[in-house]
Amino acid sequence: MRSFEKHLPLFLLKHASSGMAGGGVLGLGLLILDIASLRTLMGQSDGGMIAILLLFVGLMATFGAVAMAIGIMTMNGVIERD
């Protein structure tokens, strides 16, 4: 294993967790501010908790993946060859 390969999982985990936090904040903001009556619709629905879970999982997965992709694309000069 090369020296730079040891740091890559932590690098990706940091970016993924920051993106997931951003997705969680966005989902929370959508529900708190009741944008497009989203909270109202979910509250009146029979499967409201499932809808909230799907909202957060979808946002967090998307934002986490985008943050990892941005991290990878901006690694300019981070990798030092042996």
In a domain, 54, yes or no: yes
In a domain, 69, yes or no: yes
Please, which pLDDT band fits residue 12 given cuts at 50, 70 and 90?
very high
Cα(6)–Cα(12) distance, rounded to whole angstroms? 11
Q: What is the pLDDT of residues 21-48, one digit of tens each?
A: 999 999 999 999 999 999 999 999 999 9
- Per-residue pLDDT for 78 more than 70? no
Of residues 37 and 78, the one with the higher pLDDT is: 37
What is the count of structural domains for the chain? Answer: 1
In a domain, 57, yes or no: yes
Structural domain harbouring 22: 7-73
Contact criterion met (CB below 8 Å) for 26 and 59: yes
Instruction: Note the pTM of the prediction, 2 decimals.
Output: 0.84
Q: What is the pLDDT of residues 50-60, one digit of tens each?
A: 999 999 999 99
